[in-house]
């Protein structure tokens, strides 16, 4: 585990504890997602944050002016702290760690579902229900279209892969034939 991951987990744990006390866990997650998306989607913001010639205090002031009243105080304080400490590379990892910590606390699990076409809401709900019983958690589905699949689905929950794709089934069949041939 990298030092950035460890540091991001510490910040995320502290942010989650404050958010949980204020009963704003999901709100904080949404705010973090929006901020990380805005930063990753805008090269000018990235340059501004990464420019060493701009004092951290100026960056913090700009951040405050841009976000004050639009995000909760715990999120604003955490971002200010990261900027002040020069740890801006942790923004995305902070979000990832926060989502995991909150998911564990609330009994959620995120599933990445690979399919050959975009799943509609009904199909996502069906996948969430089926794998929710397997994982014994409430599943949040993130659908990724993978044209390389021949058919079926691949579902990743945490560090577990459930491969129901046609290619996966064929691979398992081939392995069973190889074992019998030996």
Which CATH number characterizes residue 177's domain? 3.40.30
Confidence of residue 1 (pLDDT cuts 50, 70, 90): low
What is the span of the domain harbouring residue 71?
3-103
Domain co-membership, 98 together with 116: no
Query: How many angstroms separate the CA atoms of 163 and 156, rounded?
Result: 8
70 and 150 belong to one structural domain: no
97 and 132 inside one domain: no
Same domain, 95 and 33: yes
Task: Report pLDDT digits (tens) over 61-102.
Answer: 988 888 888 899 999 999 999 988 888 888 889 998 998 898
Q: Which residues contact 85 (CB under 8 A, 6 or more apart)?
A: none
For the segment 157-181, what is each residue's pLDDT rounded down to a tens digit? 877 888 876 666 667 777 777 777 6
**Given pLDDT bands bounded at 50, 70 and 90, which one contains residue 182?**
low
Same domain? For 87 and 57 the reply is: yes
pTM for the complete prediction? 0.69
């Amino acid at each position: 585990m990298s030092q950035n991951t460890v540091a991001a987990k510490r910040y995320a744990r502290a942010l989650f504890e404050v958010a949980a006390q204020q009963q704003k866990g999901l709100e904080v997650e949404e705010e973090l997602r929006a901020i990380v998306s805005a930063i990753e989607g805008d090269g000018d913001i990235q340059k501004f944050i990464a420019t060493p010639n701009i004092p951290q205090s100026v960056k913090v002031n700009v951040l405050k002016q841009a976000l004050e009243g639009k995000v909760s105080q715990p999120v604003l304080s955490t971002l200010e702290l990261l900027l002040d400490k020069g740890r801006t590379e942790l923004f995305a990892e902070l979000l990832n760690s926060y989502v995991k910590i909150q998911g564990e606390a609330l009994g959620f699990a995120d599933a990445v579902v690979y399919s050959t076409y975009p799943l509609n809401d009904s199909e996502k709900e069906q996948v969430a229900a089926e794998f929710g019983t397997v994982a014994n958690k409430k599943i949040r589905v993130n659908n990724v279209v993978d044209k390389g699949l021949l058919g079926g689905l691949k579902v990743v929950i945490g560090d577990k892969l459930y491969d129901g794709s046609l290619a996966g089934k064929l691979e398992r069949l081939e392995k069973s034939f190889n074992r019998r041939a030996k």
